[in-house]
Amino acid sequence: MNWDYELLVIGAGPGGLAAAETAADYGVRVAIAEQEQVGGTCVVHGCIPEKLMTYAAGFSKVFERADEYGWGHVSKNFDWCQFMEARNRDIQHLCQMHIQKLEKAGVELIKGHAKFLDAHTVDINGQEYKANKILIAVGRKAIKPEVPGIEYAITTRKFLELKHQPKHLAIIGSNYIAVKLAGMMNGLISKVTLVISDDKVLPGCDHALRTTVQDEMTRLGIRICTNSQVEKIERVQDCLNLRLSDSNEPVEVETVVWISDRVPNWDGLGLEKAGVEVKQGAIAVDEYSRTSQANIFAVGDCTARPRFTPVAIAAGRAFADTEFGDHPRTVDYDYVPYVVSSQPEAATVGLTEAQAKAQLGKAVRCYQKTFQSLLDMRAESPEQTLLKLVVDDNSDRIVGAQMVGDCASEIIQMIALAINAGVTKADFNHTIGIHPSIGEEFFCLSP
């Protein structure tokens, strides 16, 4: 059959872009469909803009330490509008770079909403396109629950488009996105109230990491309402009142950001017409990213795999290598590191202590240390750095690592490489680190 394209990718986020460019490198005729900006949530509404804002928030900590390091008192005057204008320019530049990469690779960009007509045919803005293979990479989108007054709450996407900085905001949620937003806005000198339904932030993370992050957030002035549910949001003049399940007194704020779970962004995609199976709220795929329809594949957050940008990129490239490069391969998702850009930063890889004990029973040994870094010691800051290793006592292999403190993401991703290579605690003990540094402390942890 004469196909319009050998591969049609739906969604120009990290996974879709990686797959399209890799496939094009193999000489395949590729098109990619995107209804919004090229780059996806990560570049436009997520990781990149949030990270830039985290960098901006980090200056408040630097200013606090400046006096002890001989710089004198530095005033904290953050210009929200100036920063947002510069940030938006950076995002537009990144989007344009991705478009240029597609052009250079020979990938055709089709702007518009895609919907399946059958397993090989996609309609985009009324034009039909036939492709031998189709890759779905539509990501996820934020949702809001049915709570009275929920129309007054915004999602993170809308928050990142605000023209003025909220003086006091409430963040509803306890996941890494909520914790990150709470930390960055506190660093930008907004008053922050975080409402969580559990007793600790970051569900699913290691208990020591959760406790350290929450204690530091509280110390920095973030109000955390634990074991609490929002029952109602009311507008009172220019303010919003939150009615919480554990309090008779409302919380008065200027802005409410609701950060709950995200759902696959497949509205109007017509998966049923293509015969693509959905299981437990995600597109079902095998180890090679193939769906229930033999010629249709899916990568990224619309599947049940870990929802991180590098995971989507790795899966997209593996798909293209397998289908077009005569190099069948899968992706190992067991030891994927990730960062919580909180204040202070936290990062983790592998098993938590609880997960390790559930899998290995009593054959688990943990090595942990909490201390002040040299930087904080000199600045007389009470901020604590946490390092933790989780070890299989039978084999001495390290199966998990946790860190809270400066440079956590950079250190943990290197430990991820070591864990994937099968490193043991004895290997760590025999390694000489760089002094003075935070990372060297990982090589001398005691039980």
Distance CA 182, CA 273 (A): 42
Distance CA 53, CA 91 (A): 12
- The backbone torsions φ and ψ at residue 378, rounded to the nearest 5 degrees and listed phi first, read -70, -35
Distance CA 345, CA 385 (A): 10
Question: Residue 410: how many CB atoms within 10 A of its CB?
Answer: 14
- Of 73, 93, 430, 435, which one is the catalytic site residue? 435
Percent composition of the chain: helix, strand, coil (DSSP 3-state, to 5) = 35, 25, 40
Distance CA 367, CA 445 (A): 6
Distance CA 425, CA 119 (A): 50
Are 310 and 290 contacting, i.e. CB atoms less than 8 angstroms apart?
Answer: no
Q: Which residues are bridge partners to 350 per DSSP?
A: 400
Strand 230-236 and strand 223-225: pairing? unpaired
Burial class (CB in 10 A: 0-12, 13-18, 19+), 126: exposed
Are 10 and 305 contacting, i.e. CB atoms less than 8 angstroms apart?
Answer: no
The answer to whether residue 435 is catalytic is yes
Provide the phi-psi class of 371: left if phi over 0, else alpha when psi is between -120 and 50, else beta.
Answer: beta
Are 200 and 260 contacting, i.e. CB atoms less than 8 angstroms apart?
Answer: no
- DSSP codes joined into one string, 100-121: HHHHHHTPEEEES-EEESSSSE
Distance CA 244, CA 251 (A): 8
Residue 30 host element (H or E): strand 30-34
Question: Residue 123: how many CB atoms within 10 A of its CB?
Answer: 16
What residues are annotated to the active site? 435
